[in-house]
Amino acid sequence: GIQVEQSPPDLILQEGANSTLRCNFSDSVNNLQWFHQNPWGQLINLFYIPSGTKQNGRLSATTVATERYSLLYISSSQTTDSGVYFCAVDLSGSARQLTFGSGTQLTVLP
């Protein structure tokens, strides 16, 4: 099956710093999503980005499908950005199955 690898596994930042999270995948994909999981377990949709670049406030993402990777940029980080960031991809047919990476645990210190 498809492999999804995220790096780094853990990241500690000072408030105000910028960061880049990476997601590599082993096959071509129909869909790629980035999520933020808060401390209570809720997965919050950040981006639906099978290709190209999108921006939403301090967050932006880029997927280069031909090279099988996606990047999530967080600028001017805040303590509320802490949590686990997941990348998930699917390459299936009519019933979309997301395969998740292991996540990046981000801690933003005040």
Partner 1 sequence: ETGVTQTPRHLVMGMTNKKSLKCEQHLGHNAMYWYKQSAKKPLELMFVYNFKEQTENNSVPSRFSPECPNSSHLFLHLHTLQPEDSALYLCASSQLGSYNEQFFGPGTRLTVL
Residues engaged in binding partner 1 (CB under 8 A): 4, 30-31, 33, 35, 40-45, 48, 86, 88, 90, 94-103
Cβ at position 25, least distance to partner 1 in Å: 13
Decide whether 30 or 53 has the Cβ nearer to partner 1.
30
Decide whether 17 or 91 has the Cβ nearer to partner 1.
91
Cβ at position 98, least distance to partner 1 in Å: 6
Cβ at position 48, least distance to partner 1 in Å: 4
Q: What is the length of the chain?
A: 110
- Is the preceding omega at residue 8 within 30 degrees of 0, hence cis? yes
| DSSP string computed for 25-86 | ESS--SEEEEEEE-TTS-EEEEEE-SSEEEEETTEEEEEEGGGTEEEEEE-S--GGG-EEEE
Decide whether 4 or 11 has the Cβ nearer to partner 1.
4
Decide whether 8 or 48 has the Cβ nearer to partner 1.
48
Cβ at position 5, least distance to partner 1 in Å: 11
